[in-house]
Amino acid sequence: MYQVKLFNKISKVGLDHLDPARYTCSEDCEQYDAVLVRSAKLHDTQFPASLKCIARAGAGVNNIPIDRCAEEGIVVFNTPGANANAVKELVICSLMLASRDIVGGIEWTKSLAGTPDIGPAAEKGKSKFAGPEIMGKRLGVIGLGAIGVQVANAAVGLDMEVWGYDPYLSVDGALKMSRAIKHITDVNEIFANCDYITVHVPLTPDTKHLINADAIAKMKDGVRIINIARGELIDEDAMAAALESGKVARYVADFASEAMLAQKNAVIMPHLGASTPESEDNCAKMAAFEIREYLEKGTIRNSVNFPNLKVPYEGGYRMCMIHKNIPNMIAQISSTLSAKGMNIENMGNRSRGDYAYTIMDASHEPGEDVLDAIRAIPGFISIRVIQPE
Ligand SMILES: NC(=O)c1ccc[n+]([C@@H]2O[C@H](COP(=O)([O-])OP(=O)(O)OC[C@H]3O[C@@H](n4cnc5c(N)ncnc54)[C@H](O)[C@@H]3O)[C@@H](O)[C@H]2O)c1
């Protein structure tokens, strides 16, 4: 029976993918095999030795200590693309919120409740909430991953001129991108030429404060900026100064902070990007599937700290091994197995950065002496034996 610890409330649709005959899912267990998490911060959590994988039902993984997990042989998964449509829809809404003062207009109209002749009274004040249309304007999309591509394509559909920038654009992303999108290779071109800029990059040490005072200084006067990705991508001191001077006409973000709430031209939402029932279901389903595939078959798909690997299973005992990506590792594992009289029937190995993952199938069950001999190889992190169905 596998134990799955839930660090957040997870959609029932996802949990239904973990067969209760094989999985116990609870918020209280202490010796668990897997973690299902949404946005709970795990940086200070000490994990039990039994933990094999963490699945984040969502895209960003900055709430998870992924380097420490790699060192401890814990595979971290995310659910790329599962919430992309939900976020795209909020970005389209944000384009409108960045254009006209819709929120201010709604508040003003509400304040008129009880006024005689409320219709004409509301009309009289409307001009101060007016703003431009998005059709024909130039939108810069920074980050063309699962969300950025969908946003860029949708904006093309709304007759915007779309420029996209992503130095690590995947083949998949490029294939999904509308041909109408202009691919930009220098982010400064986006800064200098776009009327609207939206960011869709992960938060990393490299992307923190991607939008800072230097970047804003290069932008058009009256630029409108949308950030539904992560608050720290924006230097808020620089943004506050730019909103006060009018350099940035409006900033729409999905992250609350005192500094931004104090700004009249900032529209701040409470992290609503992926908050749709469809997205929560999609993410939870994908996360549950990733846990199942890894625990039951050793397959790694959508990991952020280990390589993807799927090896067809034809029977026998499957050894799932995590180790450092250093020379001679496979040779040492196979010579240890052959010294113990074991034959490898099938295998796969892939590396990613400092770490590697190896699957070997053998017809005989490796005894504790074999496992201990493998564990003693310098640079070896963990081994577990399964028999996929
Ligand atoms: N507000 C929300 O509720 C919400 C929901 C989902 C995702 N997000 C955020 O949106 C981010 C993007 O999500 P996604 O699903 O599109 O992720 P993704 O991994 O599919 O795409 C990210 C893209 O950013 C690109 N990139 C990385 N560094 C870059 C840089 N310096 N300049 C330009 N491009 C760069 C990558 O190459 C990749 O294509 C997530 O990391 C997450 O932080 C927020």
Q: Is 63 domain-assigned? A: yes
Contacts of 221 (CB under 8 A, 6+ apart): 246, 247
Domain range for 347:
310-389
Using a pLDDT cut of 90, give the percent of the chain over it.
Answer: 97
* Cross-strand partners of 232: none
For 175-228, write each residue's pLDDT tens digit. Answer: 999 999 999 999 999 999 999 999 999 999 999 999 999 999 999 999 999 999
Domain boundary among 306, 330, 358: 306
Do 213 and 166 fall into the same domain?
Answer: yes
Q: Residue 139's pLDDT band (boundaries 50, 70, 90)?
A: very high
Residue 353 sits in a domain of what CATH number? Answer: 3.30.70.260
What does the pLDDT read at residue 185?
A: 98
Q: Is 125 domain-assigned? A: no
Do 295 and 238 fall into the same domain?
Answer: no
What does the pLDDT read at residue 131?
A: 97
DSSP string, 228-239: -S-GGGB-HHHH
Do 89 and 218 fall into the same domain?
Answer: yes
What does the pLDDT read at residue 389?
A: 86
Can you tell me the mean pLDDT for 278-298?
97
What does the pLDDT read at residue 41?
A: 97
**Distance separating alpha carbons of residues 229 and 238, to the nearest angstrom:** 18
Can you tell me the mean pLDDT for 151-165?
98
Do 244 and 298 fall into the same domain?
Answer: no
Can you tell me the mean pLDDT for 16-28?
96
Minimal-distance CA residue to ligand 1 atom 41? 202
Pocket of ligand 1 contains residue 62 by CB under 6 Å:
no
Can you tell me the mean pLDDT for 317-327?
97
For 222-242, write each residue's pLDDT tens digit. Answer: 999 999 999 999 999 999 999
Do 278 and 297 fall into the same domain?
Answer: yes
Q: Is 115 domain-assigned? A: no
Q: How far is the CA of 107 from the centre of ligand 1 (A)?
A: 33
Q: Classify strands 380-386 and 317-324 as parallel, antiparallel or unpaired.
A: antiparallel
Do 336 and 261 fall into the same domain?
Answer: no
Pocket mutation for ligand 1, best pick of 191, 201, 210, 226 (most atoms within 8 Å of C-beta)? 201
For 79-98, write each residue's pLDDT tens digit. Answer: 999 999 999 999 999 999 99
Do 388 and 364 fall into the same domain?
Answer: yes
Q: Is 109 domain-assigned? A: no
Q: Is 106 domain-assigned? A: no
Pocket of ligand 1 contains residue 228 by CB under 6 Å:
yes
Can you tell me the mean pLDDT for 133-154?
98
Number of domains in the chain: 3
Q: How far is the CA of 229 from the centre of ligand 1 (A)?
A: 7
Can you tell me the mean pLDDT for 22-37?
96
Q: Is 357 domain-assigned? A: yes
Pocket of ligand 1 contains residue 149 by CB under 6 Å:
no
Cβ atoms of 25 and 55 closer than 8 Å: no
Pocket of ligand 1 contains residue 230 by CB under 6 Å:
yes
| Mean per-residue pLDDT over the chain, rounded | 96
**Distance separating alpha carbons of residues 347 and 365, to the nearest angstrom:** 15
Do 136 and 260 fall into the same domain?
Answer: yes
* For residue 314, pLDDT beyond 90: no
For 363-372, write each residue's pLDDT tens digit. Answer: 889 999 999 9
Listed in order, strand segments (DSSP E) in 160-311 are 161-165, 182-184, 196-199, 223-227, 248-253, 266-268
**Distance separating alpha carbons of residues 332 and 46, to the nearest angstrom:** 31
- Please identify, by atom number, the ligand 1 atom nearest to the C-alpha of residue 81: 15
Q: Which two tokens stand for residue 362?
A: 């053998």
Do 278 and 260 fall into the same domain?
Answer: no
What does the pLDDT read at residue 151?
A: 98
Least confident window among 56-60, 99-103, 225-229: 56-60
* For residue 147, pLDDT beyond 90: yes
Q: Is 69 domain-assigned? A: yes
Q: Classify strands 138-142 and 196-199 as parallel, antiparallel or unpaired.
A: parallel
Q: Is 151 domain-assigned? A: yes
Residue 34 sits in a domain of what CATH number? Answer: 3.40.50.720
The secondary structure element, H or E, covering residue 382 is strand 380-386
Can you tell me the mean pLDDT for 94-103?
98
Pocket of ligand 1 contains residue 70 by CB under 6 Å:
no
Minimal-distance CA residue to ligand 1 atom 10? 229
* For residue 362, pLDDT beyond 90: yes
Pocket of ligand 1 contains residue 60 by CB under 6 Å:
yes
* For residue 60, pLDDT beyond 90: no
Contacts of 357 (CB under 8 A, 6+ apart): 75, 300, 306, 307, 309, 320, 321, 322, 349, 350, 351
**Distance separating alpha carbons of residues 19 and 16, to the nearest angstrom:** 7
Do 188 and 260 fall into the same domain?
Answer: yes
Q: Which two tokens stand for residue 306?
A: 């280990």
Do 181 and 242 fall into the same domain?
Answer: yes
Do 237 and 221 fall into the same domain?
Answer: yes
Pocket mutation for ligand 1, best pick of 64, 147, 153, 203 (most atoms within 8 Å of C-beta)? 147
Q: Residue 59's pLDDT band (boundaries 50, 70, 90)?
A: confident
Domain boundary among 217, 239, 268: 268
